[in-house]
Amino acid sequence: MKSIIISWLVILLLATVSFSQQLSGEDIIQKVNELFNPQTSYGKAMMTIVTTSGSNRTFVYESWSKDKGEKNLVRYLEPSRVKDQATLMLNHADDIWMYFPRTQRVRKLATHAKKQKMQGSDFSYEDMGGGDVFITDFSPKRLEDEKMEDHDCYKLELTRKPNVDISYSRLIMWIIKENFVPIVIDYYDEDDPDLSEKRLVQSDIRTIDNIPTAMKVVMYNKNDNTQTEIELLEVKYNIPLDDEMFTERGLKK
Amino acid sequence: MKKWISLLLFLSFYVSPLMAQEEVELFGYFESQIMGAKIKSDFNQLYSNKLRVDIKSGFYENVTFAANFDYITYHGKTEWNVLDFLSSGITSKVSQDMESYYVIPFSDRNFLDNAYIRLTFENLDLTVGKQQISLGTGYVWNPMDVFNIKDVLDPTYEQPGHNAVRMDVPLGSIYTLTALYSPEDTWRNSAKLFRFKGRISHFDYSLIAIEKLWRFHDYTQLDTTDTAFPELPEKRRLLGASTAGELLGLGVWAEYGYNKMENSKDFHELVVGTDYTFDFQTYIMVEFYRNTLGKTDFEQYNINDWMRQFAAEQKAISRDQIYSFIQHPATDFLSMGLSSIYSISDNSLALVPTFNYSFSVNVDIMAYLNFNFGREGKVFAKNTGNGGLLRARIYF
Give the span between the Cα atoms of B14 and A73, in whole angstroms: 34
Closest Cβ–Cβ partner in A104, A120, A246 for B333:
A120
B120: closest CA of chain A, how far (Å): 10
Please count the CA atoms within 13 angstroms of the CA of B281 that sit on its side-chain side: 21
How far CA B379 is from CA of A153, B26, B152, in Å, comes to: 65, 42, 12
A96: closest CA of chain B, how far (Å): 9
Q: Is the pLDDT of residue B7 over 70?
A: no
pLDDT at B21: 54
B96 pLDDT band (50/70/90 cuts)? confident
B202: closest CA of chain A, how far (Å): 6
Number of A to B CB contacts under 8 A, please give it. 99
In a domain, A243, yes or no: yes
In a domain, A13, yes or no: no
Q: Hey, are the CB atoms on A103 and B281 less than 8 Å from each other?
A: no
pLDDT at B12: 53
**CB-based contacts of A99, cutoff 8 Å, min separation 6:** A84, A85, A86, A87, A88, A105, A106, A251, A252
In a domain, A132, yes or no: yes
Question: Which of B63, B246, B356, B357 to probe the A interface (max A CBs under 10 A)?
Answer: B246
For chain B, the domains span 2-395
**CB-based contacts of A188, cutoff 8 Å, min separation 6:** A168, A169, A170, A171, A172, A194, A195, A196, A197
In a domain, A5, yes or no: no
Q: Hey, are the CB atoms on A52 and B331 less than 8 Å from each other?
A: yes
Q: Hey, are the CB atoms on B332 and A91 less than 8 Å from each other?
A: no
Q: Hey, are the CB atoms on B361 and A79 less than 8 Å from each other?
A: yes
Give the span between the Cα atoms of A232 and A238, in whole angstroms: 17
Closest Cβ–Cβ partner in B29, B170, B277 for A247:
B170
Give the span between the Cα atoms of A107 and A101, in whole angstroms: 11
* pLDDT tens digits, B284-326: 999 999 999 999 999 999 999 999 999 989 999 999 999 999 9
Residue B133 in 3-state DSSP? Answer: coil
B 335-374 residues with CB < 8 A to A: 358, 360-362, 364
Q: List chain A residues with CB under 8 Å of B333.
A: 51, 120
Measured between CA atoms, the residue of chain A closest to residue B197 is: A248
pLDDT at B58: 77
pLDDT at A127: 79
Radius of gyration of chain B (CA): 22
Q: Is the pLDDT of residue B34 over 90?
A: yes
pLDDT at A116: 81
pLDDT at A12: 47
pLDDT at A52: 77
Given a contact cutoff of 8 angstroms between Cβ atoms, the answer to whether B354 and B336 are in contact is yes
Give the span between the Cα atoms of A178 and A157, in whole angstroms: 19
Q: Hey, are the CB atoms on B132 and A103 less than 8 Å from each other?
A: yes
Q: List chain B residues with CB under 8 Å of A116.
A: 277, 281, 283
Q: Where is pLDDT greater, at B14 or B225?
A: B225
Q: Is B243 on the interface with A (CB under 8 A)?
A: no
Handedness of CA B8, B10, B11, B13 (dihedral sign): positive
Measured between CA atoms, the residue of chain A closest to residue B122 is: A244
Given a contact cutoff of 8 angstroms between Cβ atoms, the answer to whether B12 and B4 are in contact is no
Name the residue type at position A59: F
* pLDDT tens digits, B117-153: 999 998 999 999 999 999 999 999 999 999 999 999 9
B47 pLDDT band (50/70/90 cuts)? very high
Q: Where is pLDDT greater, at B8 or B62?
A: B62
**CB-based contacts of B198, cutoff 8 Å, min separation 6:** B174, B175, B176, B204, B205, B206
DSSP track, B328-395: EESSSSEEEEEEEEEETTTTEEEEEEEEEEEEETTEEEEEEEEEEE--TTSTT-GGGT-EEEEEEEEE
Structural domain containing residue A164:
23-251
Q: Hey, are the CB atoms on A248 and B158 less than 8 Å from each other?
A: no
Q: How many residues does chain B have?
A: 396
* pLDDT tens digits, B246-295: 999 899 999 999 999 999 999 999 999 999 998 888 999 999 999 999 99
Closest Cβ–Cβ partner in B199, B252, B362 for A79:
B362
**Could you say which DSSP state residue A243 is in?**
G
pLDDT at B308: 92
pLDDT below 50 — which residues of chain A? 12-15
Closest Cβ–Cβ partner in B156, B176, B362 for A80:
B362
- Relative to beta strand B250-261, strand A170-176 is unpaired
Q: List chain A residues with CB under 8 Å of B202.
A: 91, 94-95
pLDDT at A18: 54
Given a contact cutoff of 8 angstroms between Cβ atoms, the answer to whether B197 and B206 are in contact is yes
Give the span between the Cα atoms of B63 and A159, in whole angstroms: 50
Q: What is the CATH number of the domain that holds A204?
A: 2.50.20.10
B 125-164 residues with CB < 8 A to A: 125, 131-132, 134, 137, 156, 158-159
Given a contact cutoff of 8 angstroms between Cβ atoms, the answer to whether A247 and A253 are in contact is no
Burial (0-12, 13-18, 19+ Cβ within 10 Å), A2:
exposed
In a domain, A11, yes or no: no
Q: Hey, are the CB atoms on A248 and B176 less than 8 Å from each other?
A: yes
CATH code: domain B2-395 is: 2.40.160.100
Reported as type and span, the H/E element at residue B81 is strand B79-81
pLDDT at A130: 58
Across residues B63-70, what is the average pLDDT?
95
Q: Hey, are the CB atoms on A104 and B131 less than 8 Å from each other?
A: yes
Q: How many domains does chain A have?
A: 1
Residue A146 in 3-state DSSP? Answer: strand
Reported as type and span, the H/E element at residue A235 is strand A226-237
pLDDT at A119: 81
**CB-based contacts of A4, cutoff 8 Å, min separation 6:** none
Closest Cβ–Cβ partner in B125, B245, B395 for A108:
B245
Cα angle: B203, vertex B206, B211; to 5 degrees: 165
